[in-house]
Structure 1
């Protein structure tokens, strides 16, 4: 499975932990995130992730910023992207089951690194349920 990841200055430690877990599971990672805590602009790291998801170059995306909101808003501007802001593994599961989310947005300032890793594991291992949810997902795109 191919995963793109992008983060701003709030998320380098989160990214490292997530990438280590993903590599241990055999995932192929494209890293668009910053590796420092020097202030940067999250759209610069979110747009490449969203482009890869939208273009089908990767199966899923992971984005990280302080609140998770700004980078989620950024990636949701792209066609075929359904990014979900998640702060628990239960929300991550529902984002996949009910919304067929293909990017998880993580709020680094409001979750711990172990929580974030657990959310990503849940997100990637949960299937879309389809059925009654498919019609709703179809209505998301304009």
Structure 2
């Protein structure tokens, strides 16, 4: 089992999953399209973001997107988990937890003192994030006016 930065080829492979990832991660709040995926991923990758991948027996099991943002509340530069995805056959085997733990080590080595992420209501990963020590900062709420 290896967790490491993705190669260029692995990154291209990951990008092929973006419609599926977008659909699952946003819990139906975002209509998946190639255009929307590019709107979300281009700034991440062009801004120095990269993927950590978990590979076992030369098989990609999952990935986590790492980058940085400016915390709008504190103006502090913090590490940011842009995306986490575990391929279905490898779910419920601790892959996501191991990816997060590797991300924490990586971000500390880059000098970050804090990591943030955004998770949609209803996303089952929120439970894992809570177990890893993440806490809610704010809640975006919406109401249809029709």
Global fold match (TM > 0.5):
no
Say which structure is richer in helix: 1
TM-score for both structures, normalised by structure 2: 0.29
Say which structure is richer in strand: 2
TM-score for both structures, normalised by structure 1: 0.30
**Bigger relative contact order, structure 1 or 2, given CA contacts below 8 A and separation 6+?**
1
